[in-house]
């Protein structure tokens, strides 16, 4: 959501970025395997040593920040290093977000066991993280660049992990640099699980670029 884009680095060819995204997905799989593994202690120690060696190999050349926002080959804005949606950031779910023809955004979500808070259920903080991002994407889809000002969440029903749910968000109204936006995580039949309302603010230094004012 930053309008000023860094020039691409030479090493950021699309083939390399695709390979990095595959590696990031494997790192997510490893994360899941660690949280769920039941192998004996000796094997845990053996895997730990080999994992450390792989981390060292990746660290042979290291940047100071994840992949920065840029324009992808399809001409669309993307942020591959983003903590919630970035394909090359293993912390990201990741979330595939569609812009809806009628406005707003939609994402199918399947939370994983590593997102557990109460036993068998998704951590309320993880739901909050996803909703903050979805609301921000709805703001971006409306053509505005903004950061979260306030965010209010209402937890109506617990979310089980491993079950597909749906996240949606859409802008309500705008006033100068302020954008109000609503969203929710719901069951596929529309039953609301967590609802969110946010007020997003376009920073004054972006407003000139984005709002032309």
Per CB under 8 A, contacts with a second copy among 181-200 are: none
User: With binding defined as CB under 8 A, does residue 7 bind a second copy?
Assistant: no
User: With binding defined as CB under 8 A, does residue 179 bind a second copy?
Assistant: no
- SS3 category, 20: helix
Among 109, 131, 138, 181, binds a second copy (CB under 8 A): 131
Among 73, 75, 119, 190, binds a second copy (CB under 8 A): 119
Cβ closest to a second copy, residue 47 vs residue 166: 47
Distances (CA, A) of 91 to 1, 21, 30, 146: 19, 12, 12, 22
Alpha-carbon torsion (122, 126, 128, 133), positive or negative? negative
Cβ closest to a second copy, residue 29 vs residue 98: 29
Among 130, 141, 171, 184, binds a second copy (CB under 8 A): 130
User: With binding defined as CB under 8 A, does residue 148 bind a second copy?
Assistant: yes
User: With binding defined as CB under 8 A, does residue 3 bind a second copy?
Assistant: no
Cβ closest to a second copy, residue 51 vs residue 96: 51
User: With binding defined as CB under 8 A, does residue 155 bind a second copy?
Assistant: yes
Cα 85 from chain centroid (whole Å): 3
Which DSSP string do the residues of 138-168 spell out, in sequence order? HHHHTT---EEEEEEEEE-SPPBTTSEEEEE
Cβ closest to a second copy, residue 34 vs residue 101: 34
Number of residues in contact with a second copy under rule CB under 8 A: 89
Binding mask 26-65 for a second copy (x = CB under 8 A): xx-xxx-xxxxxxxxx-xxxxxx-xxx-xx-xxxxxxxxx
> How near is the Cβ of 72 to a second copy at its closest, in Å?
17
Instruction: Decide: 200 and 210 in contact? Cβ < 8 Å.
Output: no
197 - beta bridge partners? 152, 182
Distances (CA, A) of 20 to 11, 16, 200: 11, 6, 32
């Amino acid at each position: 959501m930053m309008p000023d884009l860094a020039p691409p680095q030479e090493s950021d060819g699309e083939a390399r970025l695709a390979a990095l995204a595959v590696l990031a997905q494997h790192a997510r799989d490893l994360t899941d395997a660690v949280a769920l593994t039941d192998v004996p202690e000796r094997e845990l120690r053996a895997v730990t040593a080999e994992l450390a060696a792989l981390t060292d190999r990746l660290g042979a050349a290291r940047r100071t920040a994840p992949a920065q926002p840029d324009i992808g080959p399809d001409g669309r804005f993307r942020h591959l290093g983003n903590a919630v949606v970035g394909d090359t950031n293993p912390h990201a779910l990741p979330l595939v977000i569609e812009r809806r023809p009628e406005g707003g955004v939609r994402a199918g979500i399947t939370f994983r066991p590593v997102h557990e808070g109460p036993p068998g259920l998704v951590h309320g903080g993880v739901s909050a993280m996803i909703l903050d991002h979805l609301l921000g994407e709805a703001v971006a889809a409306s053509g505005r660049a903004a950061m979260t000002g306030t965010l209010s969440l209402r937890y109506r029903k617990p979310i089980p992990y491993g079950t597909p749910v749906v996240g949606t968000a859409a802008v309500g109204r705008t006033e100068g640099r302020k954008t109000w936006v609503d969203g929710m995580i719901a069951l596929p039949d529309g039953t609301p699980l967590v609802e969110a309302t946010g007020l997003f603010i376009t920073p004054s230094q972006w407003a000139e670029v984005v709002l032309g004012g």
